[in-house]
Structure 1
C-alpha cells in the first residue's frame, strides 16, 4: 500500500542538521494527519530556533498548521541579522563554547558561560535575563519554553564567532569586559596594583585595567597583537552587514 506523502525543501544552510540520507533538494516523507509543521520539521532534526519562515505551496504558514498530502513545504533559514525579542543583545553559552565566550567578551558583548550547568538551568537563566542561548547541542533548542536560542554549526572558534556576528550583528565595545567572568573593566592606577604584578610586568608596562567584579588585572602583553587581530576582523565583519 502506498502512503500519502508531503514534500519538504530545506534551505541549503539548514541541511547539515538533517540526517545524511535526507540532505536532498526535495525530501519526501509520509504524511501524518496529526503532525503539525513544527513537529514534522523538528522530527527531521531542525529546531524551530533555526527557522525563519515556513511556506506551504508558496504561502507563509504557521508552525502549528497541519500540512495535507501532496503539499510542498519550504523551510527557510533565519533572516540575517536576526531580530530578537529583547534588547540589548546578550548571550548565554553552554559548556562546549568556552573559547567563543571569551572572544565575545573580548568584543565587549555581554556573555555568560558555565562549565557545569544543566539544560533546564541554562534555559531558565536565558529567559530570566533575556539572553540568547547559544549551543552546539540541538537537544536544548527543542525546549518549548526557551524564548531565544541559536545553534552554532562550526567547530572552529573563528568560524563560530563569525556565525554569531553574521546572525545577530551585536554592538561591539572591545576591551570593556573581563575575559574570565564577563564583568566590566575599568582603568586602574599602576601604583594601586603594583604589589599584585609580576616583577617583569611592573618593569615593562604602565597601562592596566581591572575587572570591577573578579578583580582580574589586564595589560597589553604577549597576546595583545593576536587579540587585536580578532577585534579588527570582527569589526570589519559587522560593518559589512
Structure 2
C-alpha cells in the first residue's frame, strides 16, 4: 500500500510511517495532488470534500488520528500491512541495519556504549537505535493497535 496524504492529514501520515506504511505528504493544488498520486502509484488520503468520490481518493471523515486509522483499516485492512518502526520517519524509506562501528562518531558516546543494534536511513543517514524513544513509540503503537481491535 502506498499513500499520499494532503496537509489536512499530517498526523495520520506520520502515524502510518511509524506503523511501517509507505505514506508521503503533499501540499499544493488538488489537481496536482491527483496527478502526483497517479504518477507514483499512490492512493490519496484527504479530508478535502472537493476530492470526495474521485478515483484513487479515500475521503477520511475522522478528526482524530485513531478514528482516521479505524476508517482506513475498515476500508483497506491496513493492519495486515503494519511493519512498525521499519521506515524512516523523515524520508519514508525503509531503514536498514548498520554495523555498530559505523555509527561511533554519529551517535552520542553514551548511546554507542550502551546499545548494540543500530539502523540507518539510506537517504538522510539518520541513525535509529533501541533506546527509550523507541520504547515510547512501541507503547504508542500498542495503544493504537489495541484501539483498532
Q: TM-score scaled by structure 1?
A: 0.54
Larger radius of gyration: 1
Identify the match of residue 130 of structure 1 among 16, 29, 41: 41
- 2:136 counterpart residue number: 226
- Of structures 1 and 2, the one with the larger relative CO (CA 8 A, separation 6+) is 2
- 1:15 counterpart residue number: none
Query: Is the 2:93–2:121 Cα contact (8 Å) retained in structure 1?
Result: yes
More helix, by proportion = 2
Aligned pairs (5 A) from 1:76-87: none
- 1:105 counterpart residue number: 17
Q: RMSD of the TM alignment (CA)?
A: 2.2
What is the alpha-carbon distance in structure 2 between the residues aligned to residue 199 and residue 222 of structure 1? 16
What is the alpha-carbon distance in structure 1 between the residues aligned to residue 147 and residue 76 of structure 2? 12
Identify the match of residue 187 of structure 1 among 97, 106, 113: 97
Aligned pairs (5 A) from 1:139-150: 139-141=50-52, 146-150=54-58
Identify the match of residue 166 of structure 1 among 74, 98, 119: 74
Q: Which runs of 5+ in 2 are unaligned?
A: none
Once the two structures are TM-superposed, the CA of residue 200 in structure 1 deviates from its matched residue by: 3.0
What is the alpha-carbon distance in structure 2 between the residues aligned to residue 165 and residue 234 of structure 1? 12
Query: Is the 1:172–1:235 Cα contact (8 Å) retained in structure 2?
Result: no
Aligned pairs (5 A) from 1:19-34: none
